[in-house]
Amino acid sequence: MKIDEVPQDEGLYEGRKSVCYALGENDRYVLAPSTGWEPLNIANGMAWEVISKQVEQALRDVHARVKSPLAYHMALNQMDIKLMAQYVRLPIWRVRRHLRWEVFERLKPSLKGRYAAVLRMPVERISFVPEIQRDKGER
């Protein structure tokens, strides 16, 4: 598409712009700012809904002590077990084991520190998650 045809549909960017390629002068590709494109906005909106539901489920699991706080922080950072294992340089089975509440609580501070470093947070925060937000009609 030509540079003057770059879509400018309002969407998830909230006033910010993304960059895409378009044909400029002399039919050469140049970077062009765009506030969004409706099909892309719809797809991104759907993806963010899925991510939000995964984070909410992880938070409920942590509060029910089904999973450790690590599960919530991984969901919030869109990390799966394999990716986390690569970053902390541990076997996948160990990361999976650390997602269990009782195992996570007994981890050495140095190992929690490795997780905290990957998640870019102070080691003291890794064991905490926010409270569950309740709907106004819910008791």
Q: Are 120 and 82 found together in one domain? A: yes
The CATH number linked to 102 is 1.10.260
Work out the burial of residue 61: count CB atoms within 10 Å of its CB; fewer than 13 is exposed, 13-18 middle, 19 or more buried.
middle
Write the pLDDT tens digit of every residue in 65-86: 999 999 999 999 999 999 999 9
In a domain, 78, yes or no: yes
Enter the pTM of the model.
0.75
Can you tell me whether residue 54 is helix, strand or coil?
helix
Write the pLDDT tens digit of every residue in 7-38: 676 766 666 777 878 888 888 888 888 777 77
| Domain range for 91 | 49-127
Q: Are 65 and 20 found together in one domain? A: no
Buried b (16+ CB within 10 A) or exposed e, 11-35: beeeeeeeeeebbeeeeeeeebebb
Q: Are 69 and 123 found together in one domain? A: yes
Closest CA to 70 of 88, 95, 36, 35: 95
Given a cut of 60, whether residue 137 has pLDDT beyond it is: no
CB 34 within 8 A of CB 7: yes
Q: Which pLDDT score is estimated for 139?
A: 47
Given a cut of 50, whether residue 3 has pLDDT beyond it is: yes
Residue 131 CB neighbour total at 10 angstroms: 7
Q: Which pLDDT score is estimated for 27?
A: 82
Q: Are 56 and 99 found together in one domain? A: yes
Sign of the Cα torsion 60, 135, 40, 10 reads negative
Write the pLDDT tens digit of every residue in 102-120: 999 999 999 999 999 999 9
Closest CA to 110 of 89, 83, 93: 89
Write the pLDDT tens digit of every residue in 39-68: 877 888 899 899 999 999 999 999 999 999
CB-based contacts of 2: which residues, under 8 Å, 6+ apart?
22, 23, 24
